[in-house]
Each structure stands twice: as structure tokens, then as C-alpha cells.
Structure 1
């Protein structure tokens, strides 16, 4: 595919009005043209609409992060890697004492904030919902806190995500290798003031979207809790797992399956025995025959979206809005697409505590329109044996995560031991409980899709009002 170059002629007045900047970014991004369009609206500069710590546009100080495994002594910690994820249950924990110190107290996320990544891939923006109120963020995330007497938080967020707001945000970035944003880059960001009814409606859409995402998170957690409670178990926590001792100095029976000690570590054996103390079935018996494997390798031929699938990889798999390159439909195997109710597990990676390797997600609704890379394990429940949502209620748990990691093979880059995978024990609740768990999961993913639709409606509403007012 040939490389596309962009060329644009600009008037000299643009150079003067932009501080005689000679780098291409502000002019190629469209920010200058948008600034001209917004002259037809009454606008205010963003700092005039914010309030609070450092004027309401800030990021925290760099600090040594003391990670912990016990939720009693830690707070969830949001980084630019995790901020795009839909399910925020498994965020890493930093020391609660450190987080609540005077130095980092202002790093707490609060409902209604706009959070913007400021380092690396800059400009990614999310809206803080109520379930994020006990989360702290790192120094690579800028917080924008509106003055509620000046503007609605939902409207401002919707505007920042429009094709008019995004170029403004990105035009201030600097850095050749790693891009950065600073709060001062927002000093001249113009916010159009639209009809009060439009701003209120956009705000209501965003707030309603946030509420649906809270429901999504709550339903996921309720499904997993119910699944374990019904068989007399509790999902293991990271702290409990590590309290069970180290994986050193143990004996294990010989096996023709594996000679790797990790595959027979005492903590894994203990967890499996705990699950087997109640009703259970092996994973292989609950899945459609021929599944429980990764996808096939294939050549990736780029194409226009009209003739392509969006190819989602391991990292983007867990994002609220998965991104990916567009690959030609004509040249991909059938297994790049997955059916409704499939469980996808990150199947390649390393064993770091915060790595995505062995985490699971569920495919429902519009997510079936994407293609998925070969580095993702397909777990497709046999609906004659178990409801697919119910199976996911377990597969997203910490217990499943630890078991999957304990059957790893490889040196640096890990993969699953596909001979051991079908024999993993899965708790097997009564029929009525499985149906309730399945309902929780389906409701969660319907809420997630509704949330995205509401966010899109807010953005479209603001864009349309700006365009119509600029004619």
C-alpha cells in the first residue's frame, strides 16, 4: 500500500495568528479552519469554564508508585493503558497511604471530569462516571473540571470529542518521538456556546451514557458474584493468591503433558481442588467441539472500510471502543469473525500482574462485526451444556485468570498449554442460577451498547448545531 502524503497551502495570516509556528501539526489537523468557523459563534476559552485545583485543568506530579495486591491497603490506579478499557474491575492498586497523601490527593477521579491522555497517544478522552469516584489517575492523564455555574460537564465532554474539538486538543501536542500535552496548550481552546437547550440535551445524553456504563459494570460484577455464591465459593483475590506461598520447592507427579513446574504449582493445584469441592465440569465439555484454540495466521491486506473488517488485537479487545486497522474481507479466513456469545481471551503475553494475558471479554451485538486477531483464544460455550453469558461470568473472574496463567508455555512470550486447557475445572451452578447469570451478562452488554449510542448522539447533536450555526 503506497504511503499517502498530505500537502496544504495556507495564508500567511494563519502563521501570524498561531504565534508563527512553523510545524505542520496545527495547520494540517484542521484546527485553524475550525477556529475560523467558530468565529461565527459566541465562544469562550476553556480556562474560563473550569474551576478548582490549578484552575481546573491539571495533571498530577510524577511519583514512585508503590503497588499493592490487597484492596484494603490500595486504591485502583488508572493509567493511559487502562483508561480506554470498558471493564475497570481489574485496575492495578497503588498504596492507599500514598494516594491519599497531600501530594497525590488531587489525583482522585471524580464524576463529571473529562480525562485526556497527555503522553504517547495523546488526546484520548473519556468521561468519568460515578463508578470511577474511588479511582486515582497517573501523571499522564489531564483532568478537566468544569465550573458548573458556567457550563455543563456533559456538553463540554461531547464538544471535546467532536471533529471540531479533537483537532483543537491535538494541535497543542509537541515532541518528536513521544508526543505530550500540557495544561497551557488548552489556554486558547475555544468552546462554542450553543443554544441552552442543545447544551442541556447533550449533557443529559452523556450523563445517561455514564449511568448505563455504571450499570454495565455492576451487572458484570453481580453475575460473577452470583456464579460463585451458588456453588459455595468466593472468587479468589490477588492478595489471597499471593498469600498461598511461593511456587518453589515442591514435588509433583510425572506427566507426559508437561515438564514445566509452573503447570503443577501448588497454588494452581489448590485452586483446582477448591473448585472441585463443589459441582463442576471440565472446560472442554462445556465448549463446542473444535473451539478452545487461537485463530489462524493470515496476510493482512489493508482496504477501505467499505470492503474491510476492523481487525481488533489483544490490547484493543478490552477497550470500550475497540480500534484497529481495516483489512480486506476477501483475504481473511472465516475464523477472524466470531459468533454472538463468544468469550475471547488474550492468549499471548507475559506474566506481569497488570498484563492482559489471560483476561477475558464477551462478544455481543455490534462487537460481532469486528474481526479478531490470531493471538486471541476463542472460548465458545455449548448452549446445550451452559449459557454463554454464565460461562463468561466465571471466565472473567480472578480464579479463571490464575488458572489460565498456570497452564502457560513458552519462554518470554507465553501461550496456553492446549492439552491442559480442556481439563480446567469450571464450577457448575444449578440451571436457574446459570440463566440468571446469563441474563446479567446480556443486560450488561446491552447497557454498554446503549451507552455508546447515547455518546454518539450527543456528539452528533453538537456537531450539527455548530455546522448549522456556522452557515
Structure 2
């Protein structure tokens, strides 16, 4: 939205109108009883590795570190590129540590862009590395309440506008660290700071529980002897040649050979198929419909493929489409699979997400494949299997098309389905219920922290 306003004093460092943000200018003003601290006074390292270009030399997992792009940072289960650590001149500047604040540092000003958005590092990200497009803030006291309050401020809508006001560049914007360092951070009463810090700590802890429980659910299926054998067949990505004795329902060799024999093995070992637990009417993509943008409180939040697999989605706001509700919304504790895309190793295509209550409240793009088994126990088993590396390889083997592949529904229904004991099924369901609860708790905690800043803290400074 365009706006015009007057500033009291032009700053030599700010070279363009974009570098002035009304809320930031008001925070700079000294008022009785109102304190603001500059970001530079809180941080020990303000992006020393940001915008430093380095080569990326791929390496085997045992000799590599994991490099995350700025979009990888926001994934619920981050998976980056494996490169040699000595590819980076100063690798310690790119290593992520718990409680650091990561900022997406390259992009555009579109409302749903990641550019300028902040995320606090938890156990999911610790020990991994980020590239030159990500800016790392390391506070003097990373776990101190004021440091966590500063993160919540940067993650708020006002903080996002403040970070984006530090931009330079033309089409692809980047962050000027000198202007970022000079950003004022409001400092309210200690009681408010502690409330916000407590919520941020809870969000970090619950996100770690969320991922830990997902991994525990998968491990039950990955421990099966047949799964171990299938993993050895398809884990490595390379050209393959297989002998296929089953029906040829497509003319594409990819559908039979891409798993390197894992598909044929599991079809022989497991008598059940996915169609035995999913009715054909319950495996579909949403229909096409018009998306008309609007502003809250009108309309619904609408999630893209990226949003569904993100730890903190950035949904669009659209008018409710005039189509059947089942084509827009998905039921809680069902599955969503990346239904259209390409075969890059970090691509969403073929990945599977379980629908937690926060996702079920939003509309979902038609590009995602809905998978809705008969009951919750079968949902849990389906997710635990399809979200493994073997499961993802099998799902991708159902892809048809040229450059942009789509999952073919009849091939998905024909995939093998594991046979588990009652105890194994119960363990998986317990882990996934805990994961769902943890994700919701983390989202609610961070949302409440941001609400306190937007509705209780900032009005006192901005009025």
C-alpha cells in the first residue's frame, strides 16, 4: 500500500524513501517513560557471514555439512544441500546455533515473500549452515528475556516492515546491515518482557518436540527388515536398469525403474495396497477456482504448497471460493502430499505432511494431493511410511508429465502398504498425536507473543 509521511530528520545513511518506515521513526523519538534500545546494543554478531559468496562443493554425507537456503530455514523439517565445510572461507560465520535469529535476506516486498522475515533457531536448525542470502543475529545473551523479546518484535508485522525498510537494491532486495543495526527495539516493563520471552521459549521447545515425535513415528516403520532392504535399493540417486514383470500401465520407465527395485520388492513382500485403506474418492487434488485477494477480517487464510511444509506459514488472504468446502479445506489428521513439481532433491514434490489443526483451519491449494485414509490409525501408518525416504521415492515414482510432474492417483493407490502389529500401530499414532499437539502449542505461543507486542506494547509508542 502506498503511503506518504513526514520525518523530523533525514538520515545520511538512508538513500531512498523505502528506508523510512513511520513506525520506526516514531520509535526513534525520545518520550518520557518510553525506552527503546538500538539493535546493535543487543547483538554480538550482526550478520558477519551475510552476502559473502563461496563455492559449494558437494560431498558424501560422512564428509559434509548441511547447507540451508533461506527457504529451507522455514521448512518444518529442514533438509539442505550436503557440501564440504571447507567450501566456506569462514564456516563458523555460517553455522547456526540455538537461540540465534535468522533473517531471510534476499527477495522482494510481496506480502507473502520470505524476505525480511525472522525465525529463531531451535534444535531443528542447530549445527547446520546457511548461505549468503540468510542473515544471522547472535545476541550478547542469546537466552536472555530481552533478546527473546527483540526476536518477537522482529517477527511481528511491525518488525517485518522495519527490517524491509533497511533494503537496498532494485529487483532483488537485500538488507543494509548498518541501517538494521540502528533499528530501535521498544523496551517495555520487565513483566511484559518476561511474558513474551516465556512464550518464545515455549515455541522453541514445542517445535523441537514436534520434529522429535515425527522422527520417532517414522523410526517404527524404518526399523522393519523389508524397509531396510528397500532403503538400500533406492536411497542413492543414480541411473538405474531393472527387470519389471508387473503390469505396464504407463509408457514411462520412470514409474518402474526410479526406485531401483524397491517398489517391486515391497509389492512382493507386503500383501496390502494403499487402496485398501484409502477410498478412491478420498485421494484427489482440489479443483481450480478463482482466488480473490482481500483483507482481514474478511475471507480465509489460503496456504500454498510451501506454506503447508513450513514451520511458520505465510498464507494469502482470499474470499471463500464458491466451490464445495472439501475442495478448499482438508480434514484434521489427514495427509497432504506435494502433488505437482519437479524432482530436485529438496523439492516439495512427493513430500507428505500431516494436517494439524492450524492447517485444517485454512484453505489449501489444489496442487496438493489429499490423502484421507478410513480412520486415524491408518492415517498414522500411512504418514509414517510415506514420509520416509523410501515412501517419498515411491510417491515420486508415480509422477507423470514432462517438466512439471503430477502424482497419478491410480498409481498412488497401487503403492504397497505396510503390515504392522497392533503395538507398532499404537506407537505411531501416539507419536503423531504428540507431534500435532506440539506444533499447535508452538504456533499458539509465538502468535500470542506477537499479539502482545502488536496490541499491548507498540500502541504506547506509536500513538
Matched, 1:110 2:97: yes
- Is the partner of 1:351 in helix, strand or coil? coil
For 1:298 and 1:318, locate their aligned partners in 2 and report how far apart those are by CA, in whole Å.
22
Aligned partners of 1:308 and 1:326 also within 8 Å: yes
Superimposed CA distance per residue, residues 164-204 of structure 1 (whole angstroms, 9 cap, x where no aligned partner): 43332111112221111132221211122333333233222
Superimposed CA distance per residue, residues 362-408 of structure 1 (whole angstroms, 9 cap, x where no aligned partner): 11212111111111111111118x43123211121111110111122
Aligned partners of 2:305 and 2:338 also within 8 Å: yes
Aligned partners of 2:331 and 2:355 also within 8 Å: yes
Shift of the 378–147 alpha-carbon distance from structure 1 to 2, 3 Å rule, reads same
Shift of the 37–294 alpha-carbon distance from structure 1 to 2, 3 Å rule, reads farther
For 1:252 and 1:389, locate their aligned partners in 2 and report how far apart those are by CA, in whole Å.
31
Aligned partners of 2:37 and 2:187 also within 8 Å: yes
1:95 to 63, 74, 83: 83
- What's the TM-score once normalised by structure 1's chain length? 0.87
For 2:226 and 2:146, locate their aligned partners in 1 and report how far apart those are by CA, in whole Å.
47
How far residue 39 of structure 1 moved from its aligned partner, in angstroms, is: 7.7
Matched, 1:415 2:406: yes
- Is the partner of 1:344 in helix, strand or coil? strand
Matched, 1:171 2:161: no
How far residue 112 of structure 1 moved from its aligned partner, in angstroms, is: 0.8
Matched, 1:323 2:314: yes
TM-align CA RMSD: 2.8
Matched, 1:351 2:343: yes
Query: What are the ranges of 5 or more consecutive residues in structure 1 without an aligned counterpart?
Result: none
Shift of the 17–63 alpha-carbon distance from structure 1 to 2, 3 Å rule, reads same
- Is the partner of 1:420 in helix, strand or coil? helix
Shift of the 366–20 alpha-carbon distance from structure 1 to 2, 3 Å rule, reads closer
Superimposed CA distance per residue, residues 334-358 of structure 1 (whole angstroms, 9 cap, x where no aligned partner): 2111111120011111111121111
Matched, 1:262 2:250: no
Aligned residue in 2 for 1:299? 290
Give the stretch that moved more between structures: 179-188 or 194-203: 194-203
- Is the partner of 1:76 in helix, strand or coil? strand
For 1:403 and 1:455, locate their aligned partners in 2 and report how far apart those are by CA, in whole Å.
36
- Is the partner of 1:144 in helix, strand or coil? strand
- What's the TM-score once normalised by structure 2's chain length? 0.89
Give the stretch that moved more between structures: 101-110 or 364-373: 101-110
Superimposed CA distance per residue, residues 265-303 of structure 1 (whole angstroms, 9 cap, x where no aligned partner): 1x5262124434654521111113412221111222333
1:183 to 148, 167, 177: 177
1:382 to 350, 367, 374: 374
- Is the partner of 2:426 in helix, strand or coil? helix
2:118 to 111, 119, 125: 125
Matches within 5 A, 1:196-207: 196-207=190-201
Matched, 1:284 2:271: no
Equivalences, count: 454
Shift of the 285–151 alpha-carbon distance from structure 1 to 2, 3 Å rule, reads closer
Aligned residue in 2 for 1:370? 362
Aligned partners of 1:307 and 1:329 also within 8 Å: no
Matched, 1:76 2:101: no
How far residue 231 of structure 1 moved from its aligned partner, in angstroms, is: 6.1
How far residue 310 of structure 1 moved from its aligned partner, in angstroms, is: 1.9
Shift of the 465–20 alpha-carbon distance from structure 1 to 2, 3 Å rule, reads closer
Aligned partners of 2:47 and 2:177 also within 8 Å: no
Aligned residue in 1 for 2:301? 310
Aligned residue in 1 for 2:424? 433
Matched, 1:461 2:452: yes
Matches within 5 A, 1:436-447: 436-447=427-438
Superimposed CA distance per residue, residues 131-169 of structure 1 (whole angstroms, 9 cap, x where no aligned partner): 322211111111111111986431221121234433321
